[in-house]
Homo-oligomer: A and B are copies of this chain.
Amino acid sequence: WKGEFFPGIPKIKYEGPSSKNPLAFKWYNAEEEILGKKMKDWLRFSVAFWHTFRGSGSDPFGSPTKFWPWEDGTNSLAMAKRRMRANFEFIDKLGVSYWCFHDRDIAPDGVTLQETNANLDAIVALAKDLQGNKIVPLWGTAQLFFHPRYMHGGATSPEVGVYAYAAAQVKKAMEVTHYLGGENYVFWGGREGYQSLLNTDMERELNHLGRFLQAAVAYKKKIGFNGTLLIEPKPQEPTKHQYDWDAATTANFLRKYGLIGEFKLNIECNHATLSGHSCHHELETARINGLLGNIDANTGDPQTGWDTDQFMTDISEATLVMLSVIRNGGLAPGGFNFDAKLRRESTDVEDLFISHISGMDTLARGLRNAAKLIEDGSLAELVRKRYQSFDSEFGKLIEDGKADFETLEKKVFEWGEPKVPSAKQELAEMIFQSAL
């Protein structure tokens, strides 16, 4: 079957910045070393099965627009297998080592959960085979938002039967992720939130969510799955208010329910901007809280109020993202997955490749720029100098928690009015831009 799905598309190669070939990398050179690590190890790219192979182009105002040659219009088991083969040919031609998936996107629902699980097993067995020894899931997850049973939430549904169903589904998804050698497992609480506080008992729902995640941790340990558990914050959509609003909200939840050591965060840039933060802010907030685990690599439209899940093409944003990643010492066992989809109006098979190449090149370019900034050193030096008054003995006293209000007041009487230098923001911006 290799070559069956994308017969006209060659294996994508690095041709350098001057190439005009849309089917070549201009910035991503997998084996090249940057700051002591290969580009592929900094970036750990993963193809997202759902957008790339199940994205139909439908939207709230329109029907599907994608009619890929390998699709037969059904969601049969046979079709699911054929699609999985397309996935692995795609991954191979793109030259990446990871994929990621929702249970329900790779295999069709059956009439009962048992039957659904059997369908999933059949596809997973094939995927295991197709993975060979080169490819594994960056992560797996359970889709707890598409089926009408989850309309009020999964772990936060007011119906006890739905809570149980969600648990059973996560149990299975965790098992198959483990079986496939997945390096992480993700929770995205698509319907864990509310549409209106008038008919919602938010406190009870949050308690249920806490119980659910505690049980997930226990089960992970029981089956010996060593991957990282990740939560992906999102402020809203589909619900009016998602419980995992942003990184800080999720950190508060984890602390409150005793889960802080058990989870990391999967930060999505488009979710960051929808919550009113820059992507860089969310990454830094996660990093500072010891929670930066993975990045859903995409971007939103700055003028739209919903999740557009576009491939990132902004060099400046990519450079900021990579600065956080480098400060974090990389993301492993996490990485970058492309939670990004073709525009509804992009309907050529080659568009699937062009978009991924563009997204990979953008982050690779960001990595190169970030390395330039770090090697140049003048931005870091500007920041270091701003805080140098705290590198004094008295500064240390404060940072060690030993300076009480009386001591501090005495110092003010001694020192008088403090000097306050310029923040040099424009200079910082000039230095930053010069690395792009």
Contact = CB atoms under 8 A, between A and B. Distances in A.
Contact of A305 (B214, B306, B311): B306
Q: Among A284, A303, A305, A357, which residue has the most Cβ atoms of chain B within 10 A?
A: A303
Contacts of A157: 420
Contacts of A383: 199-201
B278 A150 contact: no
Nearest to A348: B422
B196 A429 contact: yes
Interface stretch (A38-46, A79-87, A119-127, A233-241): A233-241
A422 B199 CA distance: 11
A179 interface: no
Interface in A156-191: 157-165, 167-168, 170-172, 190-191
Interface residues of A, number: 155
Interface in A349-394: 351, 354-355, 357-358, 361-362, 378-379, 382-383, 386-387, 389-390, 392, 394
Contact of A346 (B240, B285, B304, B426): B426
Interface stretch (A4-12, A53-61, A328-336): A53-61
A390 B430 contact: no
B436 A315 contact: yes
Interface stretch (A130-138, A246-254, A262-270): A246-254
Contacts of A149: 417-418, 420
A57 to B, nearest CB: 7
A357 B430 CA distance: 9
Contacts of A172: 409
A215 B167 contact: no
A62 interface: yes
B386 A158 contact: yes
